[in-house]
Amino acid sequence: MAEIIGAIGSSHIPAIGVAIARKIQQTPYWKPFFDGFPPIHDWLAREKPDVAIVFYNDHGLEFFLDKKPTFAIGAAAEYISYDEGWGIDTIPPVIGDEGLSWHICNELVEDEFDITICQELGIDHGLTVPMQLMWPGNSYGHMKVIPVVINCEEHPMPSPKRCFDLGRSIGKAVESYEKELKVVVLGTGGLSHQLDGQRAGLINKEFDIMCMDKIVNQPEELLDFSIRDLVEIAGAQGVELNMWLAMRGALTGQVTELHRNYHIPISNTGAGTMLLSNK
Amino acid sequence: MSYLDDKTPIPGTILFDGTMARKGYGLNKMCYSLNDQAARAEFSRDEMAYCEKFGLTTEQKKAIKARDVIGLLEQGGSIYFLAKFTGGLGLNMQDIGAIQTGMTVEEFKEKLVKAGE
C-alpha cells in the first residue's frame, strides 16, 4: 500500500526562484534562508519518496477569475511551467501520476469534496519554486507530482478547518492506494505577509512561530481561525497558512518535527521551512 | 453566515471579494493577458489602446497611467493580476510596497527587516 512518510512546509516566493537563477544563494541576504534546506535534501536522499503531493495556490497563471475553483487537483501525465509575465524562469516539465491522482479524486468526491479535476494544469511559482528548493538543479526527474490548488486569491476562500479536512481526506486516500509508493506532502506559501494596500509589509513573527509550534502536534488549535482572522493577524497573504494546514491534515500517523528554519524578511515575507516525519 | 458579512474595515486592506471582482473584471483580465509576451509588447506600444480593448473605465485607465497601485486596488484590481502589470515595468514587491505605503524603497526594506527583530 502507499504510505505518507512525511511533509515539508516551505515558502514559494517568486524572488527565491530569481535568487536560484542568479546563483546568489550564498549572499548575506539569502544565506539564512537557503541554509534551511540541506537537512531536507539529506532526508529526501535517505527516504527516497516516489511521489510528492504539493498544496499550493495559483497566482493567476492557470486560473483567471472567469472560472476560479476553490480546490483543483491535477490528473495529468505532466505539468508545464509557463511564462508568468514578469520574468521568473520556467522549469522543465514535472511528471504526474495519473493513477494516484484519479484514485485521490474518486475518494475525495466520495468524501464530499467537490473538487475540480484538471487533465491539463499549467504550474506557476507556487509549485515550481518549492520543486527547485527541494530538488536543486531541477533534479526532480525521478519524482511524480500531484498538484493540489487551493484558492487564496479571491474571497470567499475555504476555511482553515476545511483545508485541514481536505488534507486528511487526501491522506486517507493515499493510504488506501494499492501500489507500494512512498509519498511526501508539501505545504507551500506563507507564512505571514501582506503585498497589497497601505498595510503592505506586515509580518507577524510571533504568530508564525506559534503556527509552526502548533502544527506539529496540536494542529486542531489552528482550525478555529476564520479567513478574516488570518487576514487581520497574518496579512492578506497570510491565508496561505491553509496550504500548511492541508499538508498537516494529510499526516495521520505519529508526527515528529525533524527540522525547521524561520527567517525574516525574504521579499515581504516571514519565510518558514519545516520538515515533519509521519510514522 | 459568511465571514464576509463582517463589514468592519481592516485597516490598509481591501478584501478582494465579489464586489471587487465585478468592479475589476476588465482590469484584471487585461493584466492576466500580460502573461503572454506578445500581449506585453502590444501593451508597451500603446498602453491606453490596449486598455480600451478590455473595456477599462476612465478611473482604471488613469490609475494605470499613473502607476497608482492603491488606485488600481480601489478600482477592483487584484494584487496577483496587478503584479503582471507592475512586474512588466520592472518593479518588484519592495518597490510596490514603497509605492503603496508612501515610503522610499529603502525605508520599506528597513520596515521588513525590523519585523524580524
Question: What CATH number is given to the structural domain containing A228?
Answer: 3.40.830.10
CA distances from A85 to A63, A192, B30 (A): 14, 25, 12
φ/ψ of A253, rounded to 5, equals -95, -150
Q: Looking at chain A, which residue has its C-alpha nearest residue B101?
A: A198
Reduced 3-state DSSP string for chain A: CCEEEEEEEECCCHHHHHHHHHCCCCCCCCHHHHCCCHHHHHHHHHHCCCEEEEEECCCCCCCCCCCCCCEEEECCCEECECCCCCCCCCCCCEEECHHHHHHHHHHHHHCCCCCEEECCCCECHHHHHHHHHHCHHHCCCCCEEEEEEECCCCCCCCCHHHHHHHHHHHHHHHHCCCCCCEEEEEEECCCCCCCCCCCCCCCCHHHHHHHHHHHHHCHHHHCCCCHHHHHHHHCCCHHHHHHHHHHHHCCCCCEEEEEEEEEEEECCEEEEEEEEEEC
Answer whether A160's CB lies under 8 Å from A211's CB. no
Distance from CA of A130 to the nearest CA of B (A): 19
pLDDT of res. A213: 98
- Mean pLDDT computed over B58-80: 98
Distance of alpha carbon A201 from alpha carbon A208, whole angstroms: 15
Closest in B21, B25, B93 to A195, CB measured:
B93
Which residues of chain B from 58 to 87 reach within 8 Å of chain A, CB to CB?
69-70, 73, 78-84, 86-87
In chain B, domain spans: 18-115
What does the angle CA A236 – CA A240 – CA A245 come to, to the nearest 5 degrees? 140
Tell which of A196, A239, A240, A266 to mutate to test the B interface (max B CBs under 10 Å).
Answer: A196
Q: Which helix (H) or strand (E) holds B89?
A: none
pLDDT of res. A21: 96
pLDDT of res. A87: 82
Closest in B11, B16, B93 to A154, CB measured:
B16
Which residues of A are annotated as catalytic? 125, 193
Range B18-115: architecture per CATH: Orthogonal Bundle (1.10)
**ipTM (interface predicted TM):** 0.96
- Mean pLDDT computed over A13-17: 96
Distance of alpha carbon A265 from alpha carbon B21, whole angstroms: 30
A125-134 helix and A38-47 helix, angle to the nearest 10 degrees: 80
The reply to whether A203 touches chain B by the CB within 8 Å rule is yes
pLDDT of res. A35: 98
Q: For residue A13, which amino acid is it? A: I
Is the predicted pLDDT of residue A214 greater than 90, yes or no?
A: yes
| CB within 8 Å: B28 and A65 | yes
Closest in A85, A195, A263 to B88, CB measured:
A85
Distance of alpha carbon A199 from alpha carbon B101, whole angstroms: 7
Q: Which grid cell is A83? A: 511564462
C-alpha closest to that of A251 among A31, A52, A5? A5
Q: Whole-number mean pLDDT of chain B?
A: 97
| CB within 8 Å: B115 and A264 | yes
pLDDT of res. B33: 98
In terms of Cβ atoms closer than 10 Å to its own Cβ (0-12, 13-18, 19+), residue A220 is exposed
Instruction: Tell me which of A85-89, A160-164, A229-233, B80-84 is least confident.
Output: A85-89
Q: Which domain holds residue A254?
A: 3-278
Using the structure block, give the residue that is written with the C-alpha cell 519524482.
Answer: A143
Query: Beta strand pairing status for A51-56 and A182-188?
Result: parallel
| CB within 8 Å: B4 and A155 | yes
Distance from CA of A66 to the nearest CA of B (A): 9
Using the structure block, give the residue that is written with the C-alpha cell 519545516.
Answer: A274
Distance from CA of B28 to the nearest CA of A (A): 8
Q: Name the pLDDT band for A62 (thresholds 50, 70, 90).
A: very high
pLDDT of res. B41: 96
Share of chain A above pLDDT 70, in %: 100
Distance of alpha carbon A64 from alpha carbon A60, whole angstroms: 6
| CB within 8 Å: B112 and A203 | yes
The reply to whether A86 touches chain B by the CB within 8 Å rule is yes
DSSP 3-state of B96: helix
Q: Based on the structure, what is the number of domains in chain A? A: 1
Which residues of chain B from 93 to 112 reach within 8 Å of chain A, CB to CB?
93-94, 96-97, 100-101, 108-109, 111-112
pLDDT of res. A86: 86
The reply to whether A206 touches chain B by the CB within 8 Å rule is no
Q: Which grid cell is B41? A: 509588447
Q: Name the pLDDT band for A153 (thresholds 50, 70, 90).
A: very high
pTM of the predicted model as reported, rounded to 2 decimal places: 0.98
φ/ψ of A263, rounded to 5, equals -140, 140
B58-66 helix and B25-33 helix, angle to the nearest 10 degrees: 40
Q: Which grid cell is B74? A: 480601489
Q: What is the pLDDT of residues A175-207, one digit of tens each?
A: 999 999 999 999 999 999 999 999 999 999 999
